[in-house]
């Protein structure tokens, strides 16, 4: 082979090797483990808010960060194995959506940073010892829903002043299964209302609870904060309409599918903040230096169509304070 041919052959072989060498030198893309007690179809809005927060922190899925998703679909018993799997995959951060996911992640690792979302008080449920200075590898955002059940009862009483009996739907597996009913029972006593707690952790339990509410002719219903109930929001809103019982919820998602009214913090704000925190941790910040974010704004959402179907006239005071009225 001539020296010219040898040079061209060598040049061609070197050029072909360049892309492989360049790829080998590129740093591995960090991976976020996204662990949720809910289902993907029930989390479209929340996931969009999380990804927006991640983008605001400088990370775009598929471009400079990868995400491994694990959905428990309301079956909380699946979460520990899912959390362990993410740990074995050596993800850089675990985003734990719902209190049960956060507890499963915390039990699975003390080394990988965890950013949680929860509707409960993270101190009471044992996620962190302090909101301003959380534990070594755990931080996140909370809706602090535990302080709101009594306020929801007050709003329901304002809407239906003749209410003398009220039911409360609670998931016995939930972290707030004892605290929230106590708050409601105390508030009900102050208003002269008799409250009864119904416990439901399956579709069938929910059906039976509404049947009992109907049989007892209860005047109204509070649906407690719980990821499973959110997953079943279509079933719950439909049953409330079918049994003609005014019901109040913790999140606007219930009202958007036909529920009467909701009062609580915006879930999208919480997930947006979690996305920002995940990005900041990927850049090197420590969870212990990131205070748990608490809501600063609560919204009241009212569905006028649902009110009309129930024969209810919304008081002017409620309409004036509502953040959104769905017609």
Domain with residue 162: its CATH number is 3.40.50.2300
Q: Based on the domain organization, do 83 and 176 belong to the same domain?
A: no
Residue 5: inside a domain: no
Name the token pair of 228.
């499973």
Q: What local confidence, expressed as pLDDT, does residue 146 receive?
A: 61
Residue 13: inside a domain: no
Q: Is 179 helix (H, G, I), strand (E, B) or coil?
A: helix
Q: Based on the domain organization, do 190 and 305 belong to the same domain?
A: yes
Q: Is 218 helix (H, G, I), strand (E, B) or coil?
A: coil
Residue 244: inside a domain: yes
Q: Based on the domain organization, do 208 and 92 belong to the same domain?
A: no
Q: Based on the domain organization, do 180 and 285 belong to the same domain?
A: no
Residue 21: inside a domain: no
Which strand ranges, in their side-by-side order, compose the sheet holding 220-223?
A: 194-199, 165-170, 220-223, 247-249, 261-265, 298-303, 324-326
Q: Based on the domain organization, do 319 and 219 belong to the same domain?
A: yes
Q: Based on the domain organization, do 247 and 103 belong to the same domain?
A: no
The residue range of the domain holding 273 is 31-144+266-297
> Would you put residue 34 in left (φ > 0), alpha (ψ -120 to 50) or beta?
beta
Specify the number of domains making up the chain.
2
Tell me the pLDDT tens digit for each residue of 167-191.
999 999 887 888 899 999 999 999 9
Q: What local confidence, expressed as pLDDT, does residue 15 receive?
A: 44
Q: Is 224 helix (H, G, I), strand (E, B) or coil?
A: coil
Within 13 Å, how many C-alpha atoms sit on residue 281's CB side? 33
Q: Based on the domain organization, do 44 and 167 belong to the same domain?
A: no
Name the token pair of 31.
């991976």
Enumerate the β-bridge partners of residue 170: 199
Q: Based on the domain organization, do 190 and 49 belong to the same domain?
A: no
Residue 79: inside a domain: yes
Residue 1: inside a domain: no
Rounded to whole angstroms, how far apart are CA atoms 186 and 179? 11
Main-chain dihedrals φ then ψ at residue 30, nearest 5 degrees: -65, 150
Q: What local confidence, expressed as pLDDT, does residue 42 receive?
A: 79
Q: Based on the domain organization, do 140 and 95 belong to the same domain?
A: yes
Contact 136, 287 (CB under 8 A): yes
Q: Based on the domain organization, do 313 and 169 belong to the same domain?
A: yes
Residue 22: inside a domain: no
Q: Based on the domain organization, do 232 and 277 belong to the same domain?
A: no
Residues of the chain short of pLDDT 50, as ranges, are: 1-4, 6-25
Residue 247: inside a domain: yes
């Amino acid at each position: 082979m001539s020296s010219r041919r040898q040079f061209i052959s060598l040049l061609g072989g070197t050029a072909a090797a360049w892309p492989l060498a360049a790829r080998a030198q590129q740093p591995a893309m960090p991976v976020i483990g996204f662990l949720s007690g809910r289902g993907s179809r029930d989390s479209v809005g929340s996931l969009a808010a999380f990804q927006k927060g991640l983008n605001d922190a400088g990370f775009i899925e598929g471009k400079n960060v990868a995400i491994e998703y694990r959905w428990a679909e309301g079956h909380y018993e699946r979460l520990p194995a899912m959390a362990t799997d993410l740990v074995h995959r050596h993800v850089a951060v675990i985003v734990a959506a719902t209190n049960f996911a956060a507890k499963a992640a915390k039990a699975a690792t003390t080394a990988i940073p965890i950013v949680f979302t929860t509707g409960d008080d993270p101190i009471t449920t044992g996620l962190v010892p302090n909101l301003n200075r959380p534990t070594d590898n755990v931080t996140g955002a909370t809706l602090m829903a535990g302080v709101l059940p009594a306020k929801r009862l007050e709003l329901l009483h304002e809407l239906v002043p003749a209410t003398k009996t009220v039911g409360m739907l609670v998931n016995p597996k939930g972290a707030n299964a004892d605290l929230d009913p106590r708050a409601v029972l105390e508030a009900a006593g102050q208003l002269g209302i008799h409250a009864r707690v119904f416990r439901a952790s399956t579709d069938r339990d929910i059906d039976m609870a509404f049947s009992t509410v109907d049989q007892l002719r209860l005047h109204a219903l509070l649906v407690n904060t719980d990821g499973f109930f959110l997953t079943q929001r279509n079933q719950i809103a439909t049953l409330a309409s079918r049994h003609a019982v005014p019901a109040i919820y913790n999140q606007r998602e219930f009202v958007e599918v036909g529920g009467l009214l909701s009062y609580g913090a915006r879930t999208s704000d919480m997930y947006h903040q979690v996305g920002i925190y995940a990005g900041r941790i990927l850049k090197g910040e420590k969870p212990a230096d990131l205070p748990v974010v608490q809501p600063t704004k609560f919204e009241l959402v009212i569905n006028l169509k649902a009110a009309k179907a129930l024969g209810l006239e919304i008081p002017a005071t409620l309409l004036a304070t509502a953040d959104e009225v769905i017609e």
